[in-house]
């Protein structure tokens, strides 16, 4: 009987390893066939490398990058620092790309630093089209171009800044964040506007819900960038949030994020995040 149990255990281990191998083959197949991040059971996998171009805006202080269309405010205080980029509207996806992470590699230019493989940036802003300029001569962010307008410190990690613009290869990668999701409040007791920050995994949010201690789950609509809103009377209640990743479709719940005396202009941290 002991020998039989060992045989069964070994068989189960072999099946488990075979199952994992099949999953890895599935990941690889999805990457090759679609060129998009592969997701199975909520796991994020990098996309394939794709061609684009990169410029920069602002100076070495990156002060021009503060704020931005995603609504992250002070990028130093909120954990994003200077490793950021504004995306062309083709990539920005009406704000659903806010918080996504990219590896960017300078290629095919004498301005590229040969000893740097790539740098990693977070999408925090939009680079709007410039219809007064041709898309290949000044209108770098015009659709359908995929383009990264990087902070100057981020650009200077991969190329000489005097080049102005360089060809790059890029790919979506998972966002590695320390701590849980962060929720920055605006609005009032009857209209709650929430900016979602420090999002791990795919880095993006597709849907949000809020739950007061005296209500059920209330669906929040996408406002713009990384913000979601609910028209509901929630003052005097502790608040919980439910969020679904745009890329992986994984849903997590952050219970009791804000106390009953929550206020606008404040940011509340949770203890959960996407992996």
Mean pLDDT by 10 residues, the chain (275 residues): 42 43 42 42 82 96 92 92 97 96 97 96 97 95 97 98 97 96 94 97 97 98 96 96 95 97 96 93
Find the DSSP H helices in 68-185. 89-92, 152-155
User: Is residue 52 within 8 Å of 121, Cβ to Cβ?
Assistant: no
What is the model's pLDDT at position 189? 83
Closest CA to 269 of 76, 259, 209, 68: 259
CA angle in degrees (0–180, nearest 5) for 69-83-166: 90
* Token digits of residue 147: 């383009």
DSSP state, 190?
Answer: S
What is the model's pLDDT at position 44? 81
* 58, 71, 117 from 68: Cα distances, Å: 12, 6, 28
* Token digits of residue 266: 């404040």
Strands ordered across the beta sheet of 207-212: 251-258, 239-244, 207-212, 217-224, 227-230, 192-197, 182-187, 267-269
What is the model's pLDDT at position 275? 84
Q: What is the pLDDT of residues 124-175, one digit of tens each?
A: 999 999 999 999 999 999 999 999 999 999 999 999 999 999 999 999 999 9
121 by Cβ neighbours in 10 Å (0-12 / 13-18 / 19+) ranks as buried
Rounded Cα gap, residues 219 and 202, in angstroms: 21
What is the model's pLDDT at position 103? 98
Rounded Cα gap, residues 171 and 260, in angstroms: 42
What is the model's pLDDT at position 42? 58
DSSP state, 221?
Answer: E
Alpha-carbon dihedral 130, 133, 137, 140, rounded to 10 degrees: 10
What is the model's pLDDT at position 45? 86
């Amino acid at each position: 009987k002991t020998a039989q149990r060992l045989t069964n255990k070994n068989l189960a281990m072999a099946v488990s390893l075979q199952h994992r191998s099949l999953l890895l083959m599935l990941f690889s197949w999805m990457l090759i066939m679609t060129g998009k991040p592969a997701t199975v059971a909520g796991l994020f996998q990098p996309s394939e490398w794709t061609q684009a171009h990169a410029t920069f805006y602002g100076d070495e202080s990156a002060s021009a990058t503060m704020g931005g269309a995603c609504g992250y405010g002070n990028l130093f205080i909120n954990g994003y620092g200077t490793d950021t980029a504004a995306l062309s509207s083709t990539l920005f996806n009406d704000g659903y790309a806010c918080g996504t992470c990219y590896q960017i590699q300078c290629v095919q230019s004498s301005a590229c630093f040969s000893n740097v493989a790539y740098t990693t940036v977070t999408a925090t802003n939009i680079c709007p089209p410039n219809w007064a300029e041709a898309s290949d001569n000044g209108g770098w962010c015009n659709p359908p171009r995929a383009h990264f307008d990087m902070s100057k410190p981020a650009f200077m990690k991969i190329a000489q800044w005097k080049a102005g613009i360089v060809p790059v290869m890029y790919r979506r990668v998972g966002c590695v964040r320390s701590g849980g999701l962060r929720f920055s409040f605006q609005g009032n007791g009857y209209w709650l506007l929430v900016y979602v920050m420090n999002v791990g995994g795919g880095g993006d949010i597709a849907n949000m819900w809020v739950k007061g201690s005296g209500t059920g789950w209330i669906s929040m609509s996408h406002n713009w960038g990384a913000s979601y809103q609910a028209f509901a009377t929630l003052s005097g209640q502790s608040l919980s949030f439910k969020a679904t990743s745009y890329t992986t479709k994984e849903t997590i719940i952050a219970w009791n994020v804000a106390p009953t005396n929550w206020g606008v202009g404040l940011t509340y941290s949770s203890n959960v995040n996407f992996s």
